[in-house]
Structure 1
Amino acid sequence: MSLLGRISSILLLTLIAYKSSAQIPAPNIGISNLRQKVFSTKTDSLKIDTISIIPNTFSIPFVAAADYRLDFVSATLFWIKKPATDSVTISYRVFPFKLNPVAQRMVYDSVINNFYIKPIEINKGLANSQNKIFDFGTLKAEGSFGRQIGFGNSQDAVINSTLNLQLNGMLGDSIEINAAITDNNIPIQPDGNTQQLNEFDQVFLQFKKKNWQLNLGDLDIRENKSYFLNFYKRLQGVSFQTTNRLSKSVQSNTLVSGSIAKGKFTRNILESLEGNQGPYRLRGANNEFFFIVLANTERVFYDGELLQRGEDQDYVINYNSAEITFTPRRMITKDSRIQVEFEYADRNFLNANLFLSQEFEINNKLKIRLGAFNNSDAKNSSINQVLDPKQKQFLADLGDSVQRAFYPAAFLDTLSPGKILYEKIYIGADSIYQYSTVPNVAIYNLSFVDVTQGSGDYVSDFNGANGKVYKYVAPIAGIKQGRYEPVQILVAPKKQQIVNLGVDYAISPNTNVKVELATSSTDVNTYSSKDNGDDRGWGAKFQLTNEKMIRKDKNLLLSTALEYEYVDRKFKPLERLRNVEFTRDWGLGINTIPIPADENIIRTSIGLKNKNNHAFNYQFINYNRSDNYNGFQNRIQHNAIWKGWTLANSI
C-alpha cells in the first residue's frame, strides 16, 4: 500500500473512533433476545425497553393489535383502547442495539455545566435574589437604572443618569402601594409631537386602603363637579381622598390637597397670518416671551373646535420654546380664530395651592357639595425675581394697577467695546436717553421692553454688532409715537380664593333642581392694601329640569329645562366658565376681552326624543350685561341616527 493510502486509512479510522452515528451495542444484553415482562395499564403509554424491538415479534395475550400503537424504534407503546385488566404480559424480541442513537462527547445544551471556572454572573438588580441592588421586600419592582459617560476632544467628561422605577404590592396585609419614579438629570419637557407623552421627571406615590387613598408627588387634580369651581391643575404635593358612610342614608366623599403649583394658567388669542402654519409664539399672563409650557396642559381651539396634538393630527408644540405649529390638516388664514389655553412655569414667587372638596349624598336624592380653593404667592419668598426695598415700595404704591408696573431700568456702567451705552439728556424737567460712544458721557446701560405701539417713547434705530440700538421720538399732540421703554416689568404677588356651595335635589324621579353659589376674592397685588374694595365677587346658578314620557307606545320623551345664571363683574373664576366662542356667539368679538360687567343669563328649553334617537330641541336665551348690552337667541336643533348615519342640524 502506498504512503498516501496508509495516511488516508489512519485518518479514516481516527474519525470513526472520534464520533459515529452507527448502531451502538447495548451492554449486558445476554444470550437470548426474547423478553417477557408484566406492565401496569394505568398509564396512557408504556416504555417497553431501552433498545429497539424487532417487528412482528411483539404480542400481548387477549389484547387485539388494534387497541394499541407500537413505536418499534423507541420501544414505546401507546394505548388506543385500554384493556379491562389492571396489568398485561408482553412478549417480544429485541435488536442488540438501538436503531436511532446519538453519540457525542459533550451535550452542548448544557455547556455551562462543563466550565472549570464559574463564569461571571450578571445581576439584573431588580430580580428577587439574594444579591439584588435594590431590596423592596415583597413589593413587585421593575424598571431601569442607568449611567452614561460622555467625553470628547474639546469637552470635559459628562456623567448622565436615568432612573425609571415602578413599584406595586402590599404593605402589611391591608395597604396597597403603587409608585412610579422617573428621573433624568436633564429636566426638559418632552416633545409635543405625539398624542401621548412620557414625562422625563415624575415622582408619584399612592397608598390605598379600603375607603381612603393618599397620593404624593406629581399630581394632576381635575375638578369638574361644580360650575364655578372647575379647573385642571398639575401640582407637586399631597392629596387625600376618603369615602365614609356616616349612616345608612348618608355617604361622605372628601378630597383634601396641599401642593406647590408647577405653573400658572393663561389664555392666548393668536393673530393668524395668511398661509403661515407657524410657529406661533405664546405669551405669558404678564406678556412674558421666554418660559416653558407645562407638558400636556395646552388646549388649542381652531374656529371653536378642540384640536388634537400630533404630527399626524392638527398641531405640534415645542414646550421648551413655547411655540406652536399647525399641520397641513388645518390651513391657517388671516380669518382663522385660534385660541390656546395652557399652564406655564412661573417661578417669580413660591406659589402654594390648597383645595378642599366635600360632598354629602343623602338617600340618593340630595347632594350637598362644598368646595374651597386658595392660590397665593408667598411675597417674602421670591425665586427668579428678586426685589429690593425700593421696588417693593413701588409696587405697594401702585395698588391694583399692575399693568403699569414699569420700573425704570437704567444702570451705571463703564464704556467698553462690547457694550451699547447711552447718555442722559435733560429736556426741561424731563430727561431722555440717547445712544453714545463718548467715554465720559455714555455711562447708562438700559434694558428696553416692548410696551405695544403708541405706549412708549422709543423706537428701534438699528441693529448693532452687539444688539439693537433704540432712539427717542417725541410725542405728537400728546400722543406717544414709540413702542419701547427703558424699563423692567415687575411682577406683583397675587392671591385668589374661591368658595363654592352646591345643592342637587331630586324632587321626583323625573324632576331635578340644582342650585350653586360661589364667591371669589382676587388680590392682584398683595404688596398693596390700596384698591382692595373690589376684590370680592359673587356668582350664582339655578337649574330646573324635567323629563316626562308622553307616548309610551312610541317611547316619546319630553324634556324641559329652566336655567338662570348671575355673575358679578368682580367674580374671577380659575378658568374659563363658558364655551370658548361665547363672546363671538353674542357678537362681542373674539379678539377683544369685554370690559367686566354684571351678567345675567336666562335659558329655557323644550325637547322631544323618540326611541329611534330622533331628537328635536328648541332653546331661548337672554344675555344681559350691566353695560347696556341685552341680547336674545333662539335655537332649533335636530339630531337623528339613520342607518348608521348621524345627522345634526341647528338654526
Structure 2
Amino acid sequence: MRRGEVGAAAVLLALSLARGAGAAVQDPGCGRFEIVVRAATPLYRLPHAFLRPGSDSAWVRSRPWRRGTDYVLDATRGVFRVLGDPVPGDTIHVAACWLIDPPPLELQLNRYRPAPGVAAESAGVAPAEAAAPVRPVTRHDPSTAPAGAQLALSGNKTIAVDFGSNQDAFLRQSLDLAVSGTLAPGVELTGVLSDRNTPLTASGTTQDLQALDRVLIELKAPQGGASLGDVPLELTQGEFARLDRRLQGVRGEWSIGSFQATAAAATAPGEYHRLQLFGIEGQQGPYLLTDRDGGLGVSVVAGSEVVTVDGERMTRGESADYSIDYERARITFTNRRPITSATRITVEYQYTLNRYRRSLVAAGSRWQQGALSAFFQGMSEGDDRGRPLDTVLDPSDKERLRAAGDSAVRAIGAGVAGGGGDYDTVRVAQGLAFAYAGPDSGQFTVQFARVGAGEGEYADSTIVAGRSVYRFVGAGNGAYRVGRSLPLPEAHQLLAVGGGVRLGVAALELEGAASRLDHNTFSSLDDRDDLGGAGRATLRLEGKLPGSRAAVSSVLQARLIGDRFAPFVALERPFAEEDWGLAPGTSLDHQRRVDWTGSLRPAGGGELAARAGRLSIPGGFTSVRRELEWSRDGLFSTHALVSRSEGTGRGLRFADGGRERARLDLRLRLPWIEPALLAESDQRRFPSDTGRVGERFREAGLELASGRAVPWRLVAGHTVRRDSRAAPGGFLDRGLARTTRVSLEGPAERRLTLGLSYQHREVEPLADLSRSRSDLGNLSMRVEDPSRGLGGQMHLEVTAEGENRRVRKLTRVGAGLGAYDSLGNYLGHGDYDLALVVSPELDRVERAALSTLMTWRFGSSEAWRGSRIEFDFESDARRRGKLRLGDPVVPPGAVFTDPGLTRGSVLQRLEVELAPGSRASNLRARAERRVTADRTFENFSQALDDRSLTLTWRTRPLGVLSTALEGRSRRQIAAQTVLQGAALRRALGESGVRGEVVYTPHSRLRAAAEIDASWDRLEGQIEATRTVRLGPDVGVQVGSGGHLEVSARRAFVGGAAPLGLLPTADPIGPPRWEASTHLDHRVRESATLGLSFTVTDRPGRRTQSTGRAELRAYF
C-alpha cells in the first residue's frame, strides 16, 4: 500500500470513529490547562484554586504522569509542582475540577471597638461633663495590616549538609518563595524567587542576584510599577531605537496624565543576534545557532528566542511548532511545520556571554497632548573590561588589545604550551606546522583563533572527544591561526528623539537618532568611525473621498541611515533584501530610501493598496520597487498581489538585480465547504561578479476545507511547484515538487477527541536536484467512556531529522594502561583508550514514534472496585533513508536486529490488578518487554532486550497485619559489535521470589520483615548465582512531631560468582550489608529537621557511608 493511500485510509478511519462519538455535557467546574516548562522552574500556579481532591491528572506528549512521582499538587492554592527534570519548552497537560464559587484563601478578623461614650452609656453611667475634648490623632497597631493590605506568602527554605566516607562535607541550600497580594488599595505585589543548589559562601551568604535560578518581584500601582529580577524590556517607539530583551535587574514604569516613561538597569545575560537560514529538504532539524561571527558551541539564553518561518512566528513546545536545546543551541521543528529547501527560517536570540560581563541601561518616554506627540529612547550597553569571563588577561594580553584597534585579527595572544597535549610539529613547505596526534598523545597544547575565511593557515576538520581538531591547509587557505583569541570589550550607545503633529487629515512624524559603537574600549585606535546617525520623516494623509464613503490614505516616508549607524536590533524584517533584488543576507541597516504607500477602501468592502519606493545602499546598489495588492473578505474572498523591483549594482560584471512576484488566492466560503485556488510566481535576480545568480519558482494548488457549519475541521490540499535557477540563457528548471496535505481536527470535550495532520512531498529532479520523498504526520486520539470504564489514548508522529556521523576510535595502549575494553566498555583498568569522533556532517534520518495506552476499569463491589487492565505500547524508530510502513509498530525483533535502524526502542507492557479492596485475593500481574538499539556510530552497534514477568499476591487477614508474596522472572540479552573488530553477545536469566509481612498496630508504628531469594545464570553457564536478602523495615513515631524509619538488609550469595550483562567498572551483585535510617522531626509548627544515613558494605571493598542533615522551614 502506498503512503498516500495510508493517509487517506487514516482520514476515513477517523471520520468513521467520529460518527459514533456523542457529545458530552461540559462540566463548568472542570477543564484542562497547559503548562509550558521553563528552565529551573518547579512551581506553576494554575488558573483555579480549591481543586477537587483526586480529580487531577497530568500528562505530556510521551506518557501520563503519576501523582506523587512526577508531580504534586496543592489543591487548596492551585499550585502545581514538577518533580524531576522535564525538558524546558515541553508542554504539560493538566486536567482537574474545581469549586465554581470558591471561598477566599484568607479572612481578616476586624475587632469591634465602640465609639467614645457608647460603652459608658451602655453601662448606665452618664459621661462626665468636664471631660477633656476628644482630639483626633493618628494611631497604628504594628500587628494589624493597614486597610486594603492583604499579602499571601508561601514557600520554604532548606539548609543541608551532605557528607560521606568518600567525600568532604558539603553545604547546600535552596529557597522557593512566592508572594502575592495588595499593599494598599490599587497597589499589587507579586513575587517569585527560586534558588536551587547554590552553595553557601564562607560568610554564610549565597551568590549575587544573577546566580539565582529565578527572581521576579513586581509592584503595580495606578501611576506606575516596578519589577526586579528576570524582567523583559520592550521599547517600541520609533524605528531606530527599538529594543526587546530579557534582562536580570530592575525595571520601572511611570505615567502621569499624557506622559509615560520606562527605565531599566540590568546585567545582560546574553548578546543579541539574528540568524537567517534556508531549510534543508525533508529535514526538520536540528539547525545550529551560532554567535555573530558564525562560531558554534554557544548556549542560548532560555526564552530569549523569536522564531519565524516564512514570516510567521512560531510557538515553542514539542507539541507546538519547534523545540530548542538551549545548552547546545539547536532548534528542531515539529512536523506541524514542514521544512523544505524553500523554507526561510529566521531566529532572533541572545546567546550567553563568553567574553566579559555586560550591563545595560535603557530609558524611554512618550508624551501626547491633543495633536502633538513626542518620544525619547536611549540605551547604553557595555562590557566590563575588568571582568573577563572565560580567560585571564595578563599585561601582555592587554598590550596586544591596546594595539589591536577594532581588529579582532590583531587581538591574538600566545597559544602554544609545551609539556604534553594533542599536537606535534611536522615539517611543511613553509617550515613547521602543527598536526593532530590524538588526545593527550602529542608534545604541545595548541590553541587556535578564528580570524576569518582566507586569513589563516588552519581549518577545523572534525570533533574528537568533544574537542575540535584543526589541520594545516596553507597560508591564506584557512580561517584559523595558532594563538589565543583575545576578547574585545565593546561599548554601544544609542539615542533617538522624535515627535509628531496631526492637523486634520494630515499627520507628520520626525525621528532622529545617533549611535556610538566602540569595538575595543582598550584601544583608542580606529575610534574615528564610532559615531553614526539616522533620520526619518513620515507624512500621512487619511480621509474619505468627496461624495463617497470610500476611505483613502497616503503615506510618504523618507529614511536616511548613515554608514556608521549601529542599531541594537535589525531594522528590517527578515529577508526584506530580496524584495529589492539583493541576495539573502545582504544588510539593509545602512540605506537611503523613499517609500510611498496608498490605499483605497471602497464602501462595499475590500482594500486596494499601491506601493512604490527607491533604495540605495553603500557599495553602489540602487533599486526601484513597485507593488499593487488587492484583498477582500466575504462569501468570495480574494487576495491578489503583483510586485516588481529593478536594481543595479555598481562595478559588477552582472550588475542587474530585481524581483518579479505575482500571487493569487481565491476562496469561496460556503456554510458546509470552502474551496480555494492558489497560484504564485516569484522570480529573483541578484547582482554578481562571477555569473548570473537568481532563482524562480512557480506554484499552483487547490485546497478544500470544511465550512463553519461542520463541527469537524477538515482541510485537504495539493500543490505543484517548479523550481528553477538562473542560467546564461534565462532560467533552467531544477526540480518539480508535489505536496499533498490533509488535516483533521475534531471538537473538544467529547468521548472521542481526534487530531490528524499529514503531508506527503515528492521532489522530481529535472536538472541538478536529487530525488526526494518525505512523509510528515501527526495523529492524536483520546477515547473516554466512563460508563463502561474504558479509556485510551494514542499519539503517532512521523518526522525527519538530521543526525551527526559518529565514530568510536579505540586505541590499544597496553595491558592495564587504559580504561576501556576492546568494545569500548568502561572498566577503569583496561587495555584501550576511547575517543568519540563527531563529524559536522548530518545524515537525514526519518523517525516514527507511537505511544498508546488502553485502560479498562471495572468492579462495583467494595472488593473489586478499582480493578483495572492496562496495555501500554511505545515505539521510536529512526531509520536512515525511508521509513517502512510497519516502523510505527516496529516489532521488538526488528529493533534488535535491523541494521537500517540508527536508533530504535519498543516497550510492551500489560498490567492487571484484580480486587484491590479484597482482604484475601488482591492480585497484580505485570508483563513487560523493552528493546533498545543504538547504531548511530558508523563502526559500533549495541542492542538490549529486557523481558520480565511479575506476579504479586497481597492479603490483609487482620486489620493490623498484611502480607505480600511476589514471584518474578526476567531475561536480558545484550549484543555489541565493533565493525571489523570484537563482538559480544550475552543472555542473563533471573528468577526469584519475595515475601513481606507488615505489622501496623496503630499509626505510630509500622514494622515489616522481608525476604528475597533469586537465581541468576548467564546463558551457557552451568551453575547459577544464588542470592538471599533479608531484613527488617521499621517506622516509628518519635515524640509528638517526629518519625523514624530504619531499614537493614543482609545478603547471602552462593554458587557461581555474580556476572553482569555487560562489562562494567561498577560492582556487580548486591552488597553484603546495607542499612539506612531516616529521621524527620518537626522542630516548630513550620520547620522540620531531617537526618538520613546509609551504610553499604561489599566484600573486598571499603565500607561506604553517606548522610544528609537538612533543616527546612515553611512559610
TM-score (norm 2): 0.40
In the alignment, does 2:638 pair up with 1:647?
yes
1:232 corresponds to which of 235, 240, 244? 244
Structure 1 residue 423 displacement after superposition: 3.8
User: 1:275, 1:561 → 2: CA distance?
Assistant: 42
User: 2:231, 2:223 → 1: CA distance?
Assistant: 20
- Whether the 8 Å contact between 1:423 and 1:436 is mirrored in structure 2 is no
Amino acid in structure 1 at the alignment position of 2:581: G
Structure 1 residue 606 displacement after superposition: 2.0
Q: Deviations over 1:249-282 (max 9, x none)?
A: xx32222221111211012233643332211221
**For 1:307-346, what aligned pairs fall within 5 Å after superposition?**
307-346=314-353
Change (3 A) 1:604 1:527: same
Change (3 A) 1:521 1:465: closer
Match of 2:434 in 1: 433
Q: Deviations over 1:166-218 (max 9, x none)?
A: 3223336674322232343389xxxxxxxxxxxx9321222333423222222
Structure 1 residue 425 displacement after superposition: 6.2
Structure 1 residue 491 displacement after superposition: 1.6
Q: Deviations over 1:523-577 (max 9, x none)?
A: 111111011111111111111111121156x521111121111100101111011
In the alignment, does 2:391 pair up with 1:382?
no
Change (3 A) 1:214 1:466: closer
Amino acid in structure 1 at the alignment position of 2:596: T
Match of 2:514 in 1: 519
Match of 1:620 in 2: 612
Change (3 A) 1:218 1:650: same
User: 2:222, 2:486 → 1: CA distance?
Assistant: 49
Match of 2:418 in 1: 412
SS in 1 for 2:403: helix
Match of 2:556 in 1: 562
> Unpaired segments of 5 or more residues in structure 2?
1-73, 80-104, 109-142, 200-211, 643-1115
Change (3 A) 1:393 1:431: farther
Q: Deviations over 1:5-40 (max 9, x none)?
A: xxxxxxxxxxxxxxxxxxxxxxxxxxxxxxxxxxxx
In the alignment, does 2:500 pair up with 1:498?
no
Match of 1:13 in 2: none
1:303 corresponds to which of 303, 307, 310? 310
SS in 2 for 1:533: helix
User: 1:262, 1:578 → 2: CA distance?
Assistant: 24
In the alignment, does 2:155 pair up with 1:167?
no
Which structure's relative contact order is higher, taking Cα pairs within 8 Å and 6+ residues apart? 1
1:218 corresponds to which of 230, 254, 264? 230
Structure 1 residue 490 displacement after superposition: 2.0
TM-score (norm 1): 0.67
**For 1:475-624, what aligned pairs fall within 5 Å after superposition?**
475=475, 480-482=476-478, 484-508=480-504, 510-550=505-545, 555-593=549-587, 599-624=591-616
Structure 1 residue 221 displacement after superposition: 0.7
User: 1:524, 1:464 → 2: CA distance?
Assistant: 34
- Whether the 8 Å contact between 1:139 and 1:167 is mirrored in structure 2 is no
SS in 1 for 2:401: helix
SS in 2 for 1:297: coil
Change (3 A) 1:350 1:139: farther
Match of 1:31 in 2: none
Amino acid in structure 1 at the alignment position of 2:575: E
Q: Deviations over 1:478-510 (max 9, x none)?
A: xx33454333322211011111011011122x2
User: 1:136, 1:482 → 2: CA distance?
Assistant: 73
Q: CA RMSD in A?
A: 3.9
- Whether the 8 Å contact between 1:236 and 1:259 is mirrored in structure 2 is yes
Structure 1 residue 649 displacement after superposition: 1.9
User: 1:154, 1:334 → 2: CA distance?
Assistant: 58
In the alignment, does 2:433 pair up with 1:422?
no
Q: Deviations over 1:125-144 (max 9, x none)?
A: 998799xxxx9976432554
Higher strand share: 2
Change (3 A) 1:381 1:484: closer
How many residue pairs match? The answer is 492
User: 1:353, 1:332 → 2: CA distance?
Assistant: 37
Structure 1 residue 451 displacement after superposition: 5.6
Change (3 A) 1:470 1:222: closer
User: 1:575, 1:376 → 2: CA distance?
Assistant: 15
User: 1:471, 1:260 → 2: CA distance?
Assistant: 39
SS in 1 for 2:399: helix
Structure 1 residue 459 displacement after superposition: 5.0
User: 2:466, 2:213 → 1: CA distance?
Assistant: 37
Match of 2:268 in 1: 261
- Whether the 8 Å contact between 2:542 and 2:553 is mirrored in structure 1 is yes
- Whether the 8 Å contact between 1:402 and 1:524 is mirrored in structure 2 is no
- Whether the 8 Å contact between 1:206 and 1:213 is mirrored in structure 2 is yes
SS in 2 for 1:512: strand
1:140 corresponds to which of 136, 142, 151? 151
User: 1:397, 1:582 → 2: CA distance?
Assistant: 38
Change (3 A) 1:302 1:148: farther
User: 2:338, 2:560 → 1: CA distance?
Assistant: 38
- Whether the 8 Å contact between 1:263 and 1:344 is mirrored in structure 2 is yes
User: 2:378, 2:464 → 1: CA distance?
Assistant: 54
Amino acid in structure 2 at the alignment position of 1:537: G
SS in 2 for 1:228: coil
Structure 1 residue 381 displacement after superposition: 2.2
SS in 1 for 2:545: strand
Change (3 A) 1:343 1:136: farther
* More displaced 10-residue stretch of structure 1: 378-387 or 629-638: 378-387
In the alignment, does 2:445 pair up with 1:445?
yes
SS in 2 for 1:422: strand
- Whether the 8 Å contact between 2:355 and 2:487 is mirrored in structure 1 is yes
- Whether the 8 Å contact between 1:535 and 1:570 is mirrored in structure 2 is yes
Change (3 A) 1:566 1:315: same
User: 1:350, 1:466 → 2: CA distance?
Assistant: 26
Structure 1 residue 452 displacement after superposition: 6.3
User: 1:463, 1:205 → 2: CA distance?
Assistant: 44
Structure 1 residue 149 displacement after superposition: 9.2
Structure 1 residue 225 displacement after superposition: 1.6
Change (3 A) 1:471 1:258: closer
User: 1:320, 1:159 → 2: CA distance?
Assistant: 27
Q: Deviations over 1:423-454 (max 9, x none)?
A: 486988x65335679x9x96421123566664
> Unpaired segments of 5 or more residues in structure 1?
1-121, 188-199, 246-250
Match of 2:1092 in 1: none
Amino acid in structure 2 at the alignment position of 1:581: F
- Whether the 8 Å contact between 2:276 and 2:574 is mirrored in structure 1 is no
Change (3 A) 1:325 1:146: farther
- Whether the 8 Å contact between 1:207 and 1:213 is mirrored in structure 2 is yes
Structure 1 residue 368 displacement after superposition: 1.3
1:360 corresponds to which of 359, 364, 367? 367
Structure 1 residue 519 displacement after superposition: 0.6
Larger radius of gyration: 1
* More displaced 10-residue stretch of structure 1: 629-638 or 381-390: 381-390
User: 2:462, 2:320 → 1: CA distance?
Assistant: 41
SS in 1 for 2:264: strand
- Whether the 8 Å contact between 2:422 and 2:443 is mirrored in structure 1 is no
Amino acid in structure 1 at the alignment position of 2:255: T
Amino acid in structure 2 at the alignment position of 1:262: P
User: 1:462, 1:505 → 2: CA distance?
Assistant: 60
User: 1:145, 1:454 → 2: CA distance?
Assistant: 58
Structure 1 residue 148 displacement after superposition: 11
Change (3 A) 1:628 1:328: same
